[in-house]
Amino acid sequence: MHLPLEVADWRAHSRRMNLLADIARRHEAIRRAITPLPGSRPRDHFKPINIPGDCDGLTLLAALGRMVWNVSAAEWQAEFARGRITSLEQRPVAATQIVRAGQRYQHLFPNVTEPEVNGAVEILHEDEALIVVNKPAPLPMHAGGRFYLNTLQHILNAAYHPQQTYPVHRLDAHTTGLVLVARTRFFAGRLQSQFAQRQVEKTYLVRVPGQVPADDFYCDAPISAGTGEQCSRTVDLENGLEARTEFRVLRRHADSVNLLEARPLTGRTNQIRVHLWYLGFPVCGDTVYLPGRQLGRTPSPTVGAPPLCLHAARVKFLHPLSLKPIEFNAPLPVWAK
């Protein structure tokens, strides 16, 4: 039985108005969560230390040296002397403590204040299964490094409290655009399986300098499985993982800067940036993948710095509840307009 057109239109309008009201309430909750930024208040932070199997029987000092390769033994000794390597009960432990696989310790970082981020997260859509976010930059997705609370995950959990949210893929801290977030573990699994099986169609906008020779081109250079210099990924022609990105020129500007559309057909870390860097067209604003195939340092996110001109603009997938195709588009950043 079909509803009269007027009734169907009224119901669609009502659903739309309810969605807009729900999103407005979420934006108010986000505003409260980031005013002030949660990581701006000094606090003691305990970072977990989980002993892996290959460290069984070592001293805790030796285990830490194996687990965290970029911190010297002298630096770890100083942390032990300050009492900052502790048990789960927050009691200091000795560097000579013999550890067993599976044991857990903590590293104390006292009086921590996190770097500032852009917390203005925009909710584009929500329903009982799915949240679609337009992520600003700089904003890390998850806790790590110097960031524990100033993250997308923490902001969303505050806005949706008491519900836990589940981002099902990731963008770099400096990349803007669409992020899919599930509202339960079950729906997260349905979405993550689509990403794993390459069923999600992702389209990015990217700005690059140089004389791009063709309007349509691609790169299928394999990308390293692990991190290398400055924690970056690079092209590894012998042992790298399969990767392919297709590109299309959208606009050519007189100053030899081009606006491209990028479609990653695989999901390697930093894939678009690495492929363009390898082809000789590093992304504008990228401080890691530099011209001449040089590598720079990964900076901490800095509000007000020149943007990384990479934006997750469109995504198409099967809705985790209805299993029907659905597509979302993100608002354009200033540099792409």
Q: Mind telling me the catalytic residues? A: 172
Is 45 in contact with 113 (CB distance < 8 Å)?
no
Is 320 in contact with 130 (CB distance < 8 Å)?
yes
Tokens of 237: 């022609």
Task: Name which of 139, 183, 180 is nearest 33 in CA terms.
Answer: 139
Mapped onto helix, strand or coil, the DSSP state of residue 196 is helix
Number of neighbouring beta carbons within 10 Å of residue 100: 11
Is 319 in contact with 131 (CB distance < 8 Å)?
no
Task: Give CA–CA dist 65/125, Å, rounded.
Answer: 45
The string of DSSP letters for 300-331 reads PP-TTSPPP-EEEEEEEEE-TTT--EEEEEPP
Residues 6 or more apart whose CB falls under 8 angstroms from that of 182 comprise 129, 130, 131, 165, 166, 167, 168, 188, 190, 191, 320
Phi and psi at residue 122, to the nearest 5°: -110, 125
Tokens 């794993």 label which residue? 196
Task: Give CA–CA dist 189/174, Å, rounded.
Answer: 26
Phi and psi at residue 9, to the nearest 5°: -65, -40
Bridge partners of residue 66, in order along the sequence: none
Tokens of 229: 């210099």
Task: Give CA–CA dist 269/222, Å, rounded.
Answer: 12
Amino acid at 70: N
Q: Sign of the CA dihedral 223, 308, 154, 158?
A: negative
